[in-house]
Structure 1
Amino acid sequence: MAQVFSIGQMGTQSVGLKIAGQWKPSDAAHVDMQARLLPRTNEEYERCKRIPTEKESICSIRYQVDSIGKVTVHYELIPNPNLPEIPEIGMMFTMPVSFENVEWYGKGPHENYIDREKGAKIGKYCGKVSKQYTPYLKPQECGNKIGVRWAKIYGEDGTGLKITGMPTIEFNALPYLPEELEQASHMYKLPESDKTVVRVNFKQMGVGGDDSWGQKTHPEFTLYADQTYKYSYILTPIREE
């Protein structure tokens, strides 16, 4: 599903929730799906979705599927220019909880954001999905990785999914949905997870909070609604060897 909303970190939560409320989509949306057959048994699907934000926006997603199961995703968001800055631009999907291992080539090993990345180094990292959660006093946005060339999510048998940026993505794999983090006032109130939640983003706006509370994100790290956003990535199945 298309993702244009996140709950924000504590540093900007008082400001961010007011903004996010205008971007948080409802369940109702108009979707057009078209498919056509391409040479060599490839297929192409396109979804054009009217996002029922406070002022309607348009999101177009094109999937190109080849004969071995590789999916190339092309994403375009046309925000309504009268809306405020965008918390997050990207896509989110869930996988079974058995896909508990994560590996990526990008900034790490700890979480990092476009305005919180100087201490993170580009490299190849791996770990458990559960360990990507940062235990803040109040559950909130966490675990993001920027500058990711590729990432893998896989089970104990080695099967899973590889995500390749074109050229890079922001990547997040956690045991919880954003709304589950938003609704829990303390960590012990988080539900027992039965899934792996994967977010493949173009970008997430910066954390802000230079004064540790309430300071808005700097303009260079803000995603404004006055322009079109595009990005692409590839999904490749990882099969058991």
Structure 2
Amino acid sequence: YCGEALNDIAFEVTTKWTIREDGKLVCESKIKPSGTKIELARIGYHFVLDTKGPEVEYFGAGPYENYRDRKSGAFLGRYCLKAKDFYFPYARNQESGNREDVREITFKTESGSLNFASLGKPFAICVNPYSPLELIEYTHPPELPPSGKTEFGIYAETRGLGGESCGPPPMQRDIIDTARSYSLSFTIVPLK
């Protein structure tokens, strides 16, 4: 699929979905952004899970929120917390809950579990009870409506934070290079 250019932004995405004999769903993607004046926050997939508050277990950098340029204090390990606990109520709403270098993540509910595992390079994840649009629409945490869902992103690349808003932007190495393609491969497995 080659996305239609909007404001000089387009994506060429090639995705192959395979169902293996063992029941695993395999996603293999190549994502190529294009545009001369774009700065992307991340490249990957966004899912909405129709369940609130699942327990989340992941193997990656943690235990706290981290980004590609802010993870020196994060340690590779297995962490377990509620999905709602990825969200941090900053004074003004903004996305939170990012974790880098993730190899595997499992969402556990009373009715079963759903596992995502890397097939190559580790990915970044973001778990949040609110959509990015809700975080923009409602300025402060107390204004957010109750959530009955879990928003989940799995990303080939994420942009660093730099020292903004009161400092320099991310270093060039921590900004997504729109002149190259990105790969993202993972399995999805429902578990009992």
TM-score, normalising length: structure 1: 0.74
C-alpha distance in 2 between matches for 1:194 and 1:49: 33
Larger RCO, structure (CA 8 Å, separation 6 or more): 2
C-alpha distance in 1 between matches for 2:182 and 2:146: 35
- Counterpart of 1:123 in structure 2 is 77
Q: Secondary structure at the match of 2:79?
A: strand
Distance change >3 Å, CA 63–CA 83, structure 1 → 2: farther
8 Å Cα contact 2:104-2:118 kept in structure 1: yes
User: 114, 119, 122: which is aligned to 1:161?
Assistant: 114
User: 12, 27, 30: which is aligned to 1:58?
Assistant: 12
The alignment status of 1:95 with 2:70, answered yes or no, reads: no
Unpaired runs of 5+ residues, structure 1, are: 1-47
Backbone CA RMSD of aligned residues: 1.7
C-alpha distance in 2 between matches for 1:91 and 1:53: 19
8 Å Cα contact 1:99-1:160 kept in structure 2: no
Larger radius of gyration: 1
> Deviating runs (4+, > 3 A) in structure 1?
none
User: Of Structure 1 and Structure 2, which has the larger fraction of its residues in helix?
Assistant: 1
8 Å Cα contact 1:51-1:59 kept in structure 2: no
TM-score, normalising length: structure 2: 0.92
Partner AA of 1:217 in structure 2: P
Deviation at 1:83, TM superposition (A): 3.4
Unpaired runs of 5+ residues, structure 2, are: none
Q: Percent identical across equivalent pairs?
A: 28
| Residue-pair matches, total | 190
8 Å Cα contact 1:135-1:187 kept in structure 2: yes
8 Å Cα contact 1:81-1:227 kept in structure 2: no
User: 64, 75, 100: which is aligned to 1:146?
Assistant: 100
Which digits, 9 at most, give the CA deviation of each residue in 1:169-222, with x for residues without a partner?
111221111111122110011121011111111111001126x52521110101
